[in-house]
A and B are shown apart, each in its own frame.
Chain A
Amino acid sequence: MFLARVLGSVTSTIKHSDYNSAKLMVVQPIMPDGKDDGASALAVDATGVGRGEIVLVIRQGVAAGLVLNVELPAVRSVIVGVVDDIDIKE
């Protein structure tokens, strides 16, 4: 799983059926200290998150399938939680 900041969302009418009822969010992967970690990515929102929130994103199909209740989904990244606090021992 990786940490990310929600940047916004993507609207899309023509898509694979696994995305039919999915809310597709734009997320910026971040390091635990909050710094950006590479390019932005997309993730299906299974939690109900808003712009600016720090979230937990899984990046593996079987896990995504469990969350979305779809066997062998064409989805890889799913938002599974909102982070309240990150406590790092430097």
Chain B
Amino acid sequence: METLSFAFPAGLPASRRAQVGCVGSGDLEVLLEPGQAGSLNIQVVTSVNGSAERWRHLFERMFAGANPPALNVDIHDFGATPGVVRLRLEQALEEVSDV
């Protein structure tokens, strides 16, 4: 078990919260809540040790320079592949985005 934290510049706070995903092998649970304007904070609790670099690369590809909404993101990971992580994050971001 490992807890990792990441922060990225962001825009205005998201307007609602969202919870997607599922507790279970190869999957993850993602909870998004509106954050402080300007910052995207991500906390990952993962069952896979030594994966900090992998998460950082994934978040950088998704969020660096993308002006994401300001959010507090809580992730509980149960060994999801990067493809699953990305899909779940996109699913969650779609739910908090203004329609």
Our verdict on whether A and B bind, yes or no, reads no
Using a CB–CB cutoff of 8 Å, the interface residues on chain A facing chain B are none
Interface residues of B (CB under 8 A from A): none
